[in-house]
Structure formats: C-alpha cells, structure tokens
Amino acid sequence: MTRKKLIAGNWKMNKTATDAVALAHDIVVALGSQQEVEVVVCPPFTSLEGVGKAIEGSVVKLGAQNMHFEASGAFTGEISAPMLRALFATHVILGHSERRTLFGESDELVNKKVLAALRNQLRPIVCVGESLAEREAGSTLKVIQTQTERALEGVSKELAAGIVIAYEPVWAIGTGKVATTEQAQEVHGFIRGLLTKLMGEGVSQRVRILYGGSMKPANAPELLAQKDIDGGLIGGASLEARSFLELVKAAASVC
C-alpha cells in the first residue's frame, strides 16, 4: 500500500511571531502547489495564529508542538486541543523526547494527550525513541514497544490509522548524529509489526511512521527510500525554507 509521505517541521522554541510568519511565507512560496508530499509546520504557540494566516489556502498544514489533555481549566501556562482547533491546527506533536526528559512527561501523560487529541479531531504525531544508554544496553526495541503500546492504550482501530508515529532516537536529535538507514528501518519495521499485532494489518499499513533525528537534505534521500520510513519530523533543518524545501523534494522523489 502506498502511504503519502509526510514532512513535518518542528520549530521548537525558535522564531518570534514576525520571523515565524516570514518563514511560513517563504515555505508557501517555495512549495507552490505540490501535492505529492503532505507538509506540516509546527511553530511555537505564540506564532500559531500568524502562521495559520500565512499558510491559508496553501498546501501547508498547521501543527502544534504540545498540548494539555484537558479541554479547559486551571492549568496555568497550558494550551488545550479545542484552542488549537480554533486556530485551525490539524496536527500536534506529542511525547517529544524533550518533553519527556526536560519536562517529565510520562507514557501515561502522553497517552492522555493522544486520546484528547483524537477526541478533538487533531492528528497526533507521537514521538518514541531510545536514549544512547538504552541503545547501548540493547534495549532499543523494548523501549520502543513500551512507549508505543502505552501511547496507544484505549485508541480504537478506527482512529489508530490516523495517528502518525515519529521514531526519533534521542541520541540523534540535534546532535548531527543520524541513525544509519539500517538502524532506522529496523525500528520502523518493528513499529509496523507491532501496530499489526495491536491494530491489525489494515491499520498498520495506513499509519505513517516518520524518522526524526538530524535529518538533512544530504541524508534524507536514503532514509526516505526505506520501505517503512514514511517521512520525517525535522528540527534544525526546518528552520530555513531552503533546507525544508529540499527535504520535501527528497520525499517527493521517492513517491
């Protein structure tokens, strides 16, 4: 089955609202009307509205980098799924390793967020990945299995097909160290197999599994050509229109 490739930019805590709108505008112009690859940009909360306006009518979709699982209430500093929907966001990154390690997000919390996103018709991009110590200890697949199973607890088969999983080895994020194509495909294939066990073949063949971790125009073509790598979650290289466009082109070339 052919899954549409997806390239998502995680801008993290970068760009003022003005700079974010300028980048979004450059991306829209550079992409034009290409349809082969689904493209999502995930700016900081402060830029969601401006970027949303800048990409209106284009092929680019809007995502957030995080959200709270409750719809509203006394949660100072948090943002809810209905708030994201009101700004026309369609995607939300959940369980990024920076959220897990720097902000103490547990598998249970990530699961609550996944369920809340789905309740609100937001497409979660659920991040899973092992640390360097876990890889060296030989527990990569165990870690990935636990994170994936826990994130998907209580998700129906109907909704599971719409989820995006991002495999992001923690040791490759922002470090310039990229997983080899063999290492990445091994984990992607493992996740696909796990999804088949959990949700059935029909669902697992529809779920997009992205690679994330120092993906750049130079290493993207080989990674994106792997059979279970359906796109990329891009940090550093998404902060410039030119490199982001190169990644979209790399994805389009293997469609």
Binding residues vs ligand PEP (CB under 6 A)? 10, 168, 173-174, 212-215, 233-237
Of 124 and 212, the one with the shorter C-beta distance to ligand PEP is 212
Of 31 and 179, the one with the shorter C-beta distance to ligand PEP is 179
Q: Residue 57 CB, nearest distance to ligand PEP (Å)?
A: 27
Of 114 and 159, the one with the shorter C-beta distance to ligand PEP is 114
* Tokens, residue 175: 């470090």
Annotation marks residue 168 as catalytic = yes
Q: Is 70 helix (H, G, I), strand (E, B) or coil?
A: coil
By beta carbon distance, the residue nearest ligand PEP is: 235
Annotation marks residue 158 as catalytic = no
Of 23 and 237, the one with the shorter C-beta distance to ligand PEP is 237
Q: Is 63 helix (H, G, I), strand (E, B) or coil?
A: strand
Q: 146, 111 in Cβ contact below 8 A?
A: no
Which one from 96, 105, 130, 188 is the annotated catalytic residue? Answer: 96
Q: Residue 23 CB, nearest distance to ligand PEP (Å)?
A: 15
* Tokens, residue 69: 């699982």
Of 50 and 212, the one with the shorter C-beta distance to ligand PEP is 212
Q: Residue 249 CB, nearest distance to ligand PEP (Å)?
A: 17
Position 201, amino acid: E
Query: How many other CB atoms sit within 10 Å of the CB of residue 193?
Result: 13
Q: Residue 169 CB, nearest distance to ligand PEP (Å)?
A: 9
Count of alpha carbons within 13 angstroms of residue 58, beta-carbon side: 22
Q: What distance separates the 2 farthest-apart alpha carbons in the chain?
A: 48
Exposure class string for 47-72: b at 16+ Cβ within 10 A, else e: bbbbbbebbeebbbbbbbbbbbbeee
Backbone angles phi, psi at 8, to 5 degrees: -120, 130
Which one from 98, 130, 134, 168 is the annotated catalytic residue? Answer: 168
Q: 58, 90 in Cβ contact below 8 A?
A: no
The percent helix, strand, coil of the chain (3-state, each to 5) is 45, 15, 40
Q: Residue 196 CB, nearest distance to ligand PEP (Å)?
A: 26
Residues annotated catalytic, as ranges: 96, 168
